[in-house]
C-alpha cells in the first residue's frame, strides 16, 4: 500500500487524509520528477466503466486467441 503526498515546510503532507496508528513504521521515497501522482478521479471513472463488463466473454475470447494464435502460420 502506498500513499501520495508532497513536502511543505520540510514535512510530508499526504494528498488525502490518512490515519495510521502511532508507531507505524513507514518509508518515504521521493518520486521521479516526471512520475505523476495517482489520478484518483480517473481511477474511479475507470472503475465505474467496468460496471456490467462481461469478464467471462473476455476470458473466453482471450483463451480462444491464445489457442489459435498460430493458426495463420504455414
Q: What are the grid coordinates assigned to 54, written together? A: 462481461
The string of pLDDT tens digits covering residues 16-72 is 888 889 999 998 888 877 666 677 888 888 888 888 899 999 999 999 999 999 888
Output the pTM of the full model.
0.38
31 neighbors 12 (Cβ within 8 angstroms): no
14 domain-assigned: yes
26 neighbors 20 (Cβ within 8 angstroms): yes
Q: What is the C-alpha to C-alpha distance for residues 35 and 2, in angstroms, rounded to an integer?
A: 14
Domain that holds residue 16: 1-21+38-51
27 domain-assigned: no
Query: Structurally, how many domains does the chain consist of?
Result: 1
pLDDT reported for residue 66? 93
Q: What is the C-alpha to C-alpha distance for residues 62 and 68, in angstroms, rounded to an integer?
A: 10
1 domain-assigned: yes
9 domain-assigned: yes
Position of cell 463488463? 53
Amino acid at each position: 500500500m502506498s500513499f501520495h503526498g508532497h513536502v511543505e515546510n520540510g514535512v510530508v503532507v499526504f494528498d488525502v487524509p490518512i490515519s495510521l496508528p502511532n508507531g507505524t513504521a513507514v518509508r518515504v521515497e521521493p518520486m521521479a520528477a516526471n512520475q505523476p501522482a495517482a489520478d484518483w478521479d480517473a481511477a474511479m471513472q475507470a472503475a465505474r466503466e467496468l460496471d456490467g463488463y462481461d469478464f467471462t466473454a473476455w476470458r473466453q475470447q482471450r483463451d480462444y486467441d491464445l489457442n489459435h494464435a498460430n493458426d495463420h502460420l504455414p
